[in-house]
């Protein structure tokens, strides 16, 4: 078995593990320091292992995928006039809010003229600047 696979197996059993511990374990099995560092390069590229640097040590842990939260499911909105809910009644019917939904400038000007009781041509103010 290759040293990198042996290190991966050791990390899976004993994670989180620092590189110093891995070096000590590999040296006790008869591997040199350069062999361990070359094997740790292979281990660091493995996607099932995550590495973090804390102080002067590199820590190896297993990658644990985050648990996806279930999507928020809202109950159906109780619309007025359905499911036994009475129809919506405007609280202040004398307030006209239809001007909020006018699409063009001409519609807005016509509404303002009618609301103020003036003809449309009197709403438009023609300013003459000082030069003429």
Q: pLDDT digit string (tens) for 25-39?
A: 999 999 999 999 999
pTM over 0.85: no
In a domain, 84, yes or no: no
Domain that holds residue 114: 91-126
Residue 53 scores a pLDDT above 90: yes
49-54 and 57-62 strand pairing: antiparallel
Look at residues 62, 83, 102 and tell me which one is the last residue of a structural domain.
62
Predicted pLDDT of residue 5: 92
> pLDDT tens digit string along 67-98?
988 888 877 777 777 777 777 777 787 887 77
Per-residue pLDDT, 127? 62
Alpha carbon 127 to chain centroid, angstroms: 51
Does residue 51 share a domain with residue 8? yes
Domain contains 80: no
How many folded domains does the chain comprise?
2
Among residues 9, 4, 11, 13, the alpha carbon closest in space to that of 50 is found at 11
């Amino acid at each position: 078995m290759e040293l990198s696979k042996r290190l991966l197996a050791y990390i899976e059993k004993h994670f989180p593990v620092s590189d110093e511990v891995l070096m000590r374990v590999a040296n006790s099995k008869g591997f040199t320091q350069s062999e361990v560092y070359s094997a740790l390069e292979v281990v660091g590229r493995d996607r099932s292992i995550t590495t973090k640097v804390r102080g002067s040590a590199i820590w190896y842990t297993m990658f644990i995928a985050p648990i996806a939260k279930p999507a928020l499911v809202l109950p159906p909105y109780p619309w007025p006039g359905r499911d036994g809910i009475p129809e919506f009644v405007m609280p202040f019917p004398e307030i006209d809010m239809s001007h909020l939904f006018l699409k063009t400038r001409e519609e807005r000007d016509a509404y303002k003229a009618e609301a103020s009781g003036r003809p449309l041509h009197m709403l438009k103010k023609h300013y003459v600047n000082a030069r003429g």
